[in-house]
């Protein structure tokens, strides 16, 4: 019998998986010279601006934090 996954754990797992995919994809594009560090920064800034429009404050804060963590992962 399977153990049910709690909604919070499911969301955290999906976020972690998304983080891994995005960092891996952008790192590969950067390593291959297809994206510059400046272009990656612009992508994340565009993502932040998108969430500034019409989203509830807690959603904006979560999106900003997630995008900042992803961007930092690519700078390391």
- Nearest CA to 71 among 39, 49, 31, 34? 39
Q: What is the pLDDT along the chain (76 residues), one digit of tens a residue?
A: 678 888 888 888 888 888 788 888 888 998 899 988 888 888 888 877 776 776 677 877 877 787 788 788 777 6
Positive or negative torsion for Cα 23, 25, 28, 29: negative
Neighbour-count burial for 31-43, b at 16+ CB within 10 Å, e otherwise? eeeebeeeebeeb
pTM value is: 0.64
Contact 55, 46 (CB under 8 A): no
Length of the chain: 76
């Amino acid at each position: 019998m399977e153990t049910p996954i709690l909604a919070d754990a499911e969301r955290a797992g999906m976020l972690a998986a998304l983080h891994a995919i995005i960092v891996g994809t952008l790192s590969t594009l950067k390593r291959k010279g297809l994206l510059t560090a400046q272009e990656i920064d612009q992508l994340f800034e565009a993502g932040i601006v998108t969430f500034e429009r019409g989203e509830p404050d807690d959603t904006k804060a979560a999106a900003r934090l997630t995008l900042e963590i992803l961007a930092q992962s690519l700078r390391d």
